[in-house]
Amino acid sequence: MLVRDVMVAPVITVKPSTTVKEVAELFLEKRISAAPVVESDQRLVGVVSEGDLLHRVEAGTERHHSWWLRGLIGDDTLAAEYVKSHGLKVSDVMTRKVVTATPETPLHEVAALLEKNAIKRVPILENGQLVGIVSRANLIQAVATAHKLLDIPLSDTTVRENVLSHLKRQPWAHTALLNVTVNGGVVDLWGVAESAAQRKAIKVAAESTLGVSAVNDNLVIRPVATWE
């Protein structure tokens, strides 16, 4: 699947001049946790999220450092924290370094971006313009609504070929030690797995193959060699 298949559009946005109070009210009203920040030409300049409003003077949650830690942090960092907790406009508190993707980006790449950068959402740009947004929740929705692509059952021969072909592409699956039989879409796994982890992975690979209705695991784990 591609980003365009799951992205939310149009996107609720705010401007750099929007006040922090207005953003907080918007989050509550729309039940969202972040909003891209755009100029009048829809050019993305940042993102403001609940995390950016976490340490605010209005709520009494601004950061307080011990005297010895203040000496280690440095004046520039302390000044930046002050702006974050006291700034009145979105431009004062927003995150300016934004990770983005395009509508044609595969979802697995978006998942990698979210994980690598420890973020919860990715704005989607097309020709420099904001056209959508994808969040972790949208990826979960894609998983929840996934379904088998074929209405006509595959033959057992085809299912067996699919399972073996899939396993052969996995570097951890030693297919010379395995055999697969299929009866009515039910797969039986036979042979030897090198470890419990590989045994589970082999079963999962079979279960996720198109046309498989169930999997019986008859694999055994190779004993660990001992030397006397």
pLDDT digits (tens, 9 = 90+) for 69-87: 776 777 788 788 888 899 9
Residue 49 lies in a domain: yes
CA–chain centroid gap for 119, Å, is 9
b/e per residue, 119-146, with b = 16+ CB within 10 A? Answer: bebbbbbeeeebbbbbbeebbeeeeeee
Task: Work out the average pLDDT over 88-116.
Answer: 94
Classify residue 56 by burial, with Cβ atoms within 10 Å: 0-12, 13-18, 19+: middle
The 10 Å Cβ neighbour count of residue 211 is 21
30/99 same-domain check: yes
The structural domain count of the chain equals 2
Residue 151 lies in a domain: no
123/182 same-domain check: no
71/35 same-domain check: yes
Task: Work out the average pLDDT over 130-150.
Answer: 80
79/31 same-domain check: yes
Helix (H, G, I), strand (E, B) or coil at 164: helix
Q: Identify the residue whose tokens are 């979960």.
A: 140
100/189 same-domain check: no
52/92 same-domain check: yes
Q: What does the alpha-carbon distance between residue 38 and residue 15 come to, in Å, rounded to a whole number?
A: 5
Quote the pLDDT of residue 134.
94
CATH of the domain at 36: 3.10.580.10
More reliable by pLDDT, 103 or 67 = 103
Residue 226 lies in a domain: no
* Domain stop point among 81, 109, 144: 144
Quote the pLDDT of residue 223.
78
pLDDT-derived band at 195 (thresholds 50, 70, 90) equals very high
Residue 149 lies in a domain: no
One-letter amino acid at 179 equals N
163/77 same-domain check: no
Quote the pLDDT of residue 21.
95
Backbone angles phi, psi at 166, to 5 degrees: -65, -45
Give the side-chain half-sphere CA count within 13 A for 72: 5
126/175 same-domain check: no
pLDDT-derived band at 152 (thresholds 50, 70, 90) equals low
Q: What percent of the chain has pLDDT over 70?
A: 93
More reliable by pLDDT, 144 or 133 = 133
Quote the pLDDT of residue 73.
75
Could you tell me the two tokens for 3?
């980003």
User: What is the residue range of 98's domain?
Assistant: 3-144
- DSSP designation for 222: P
Task: Work out the average pLDDT over 108-115.
Answer: 94
pLDDT at 1 exceeding the cut of 90: no
Residue 106 lies in a domain: yes
Residue 68 lies in a domain: yes
Q: What does the alpha-carbon distance between residue 128 and residue 140 come to, in Å, rounded to a whole number?
A: 27
38/94 same-domain check: yes
Quote the pLDDT of residue 135.
92
pLDDT digits (tens, 9 = 90+) for 4-39: 988 998 899 999 999 999 999 999 999 999 999 999
67/163 same-domain check: no
Q: Distance between the two ends of the chain, CA-based, in angstroms?
A: 54
9/74 same-domain check: yes
CATH of the domain at 180: 3.30.1340.30
pLDDT at 45 exceeding the cut of 90: yes
Give the side-chain half-sphere CA count within 13 A for 5: 14
51/97 same-domain check: yes
Residue 48 lies in a domain: yes
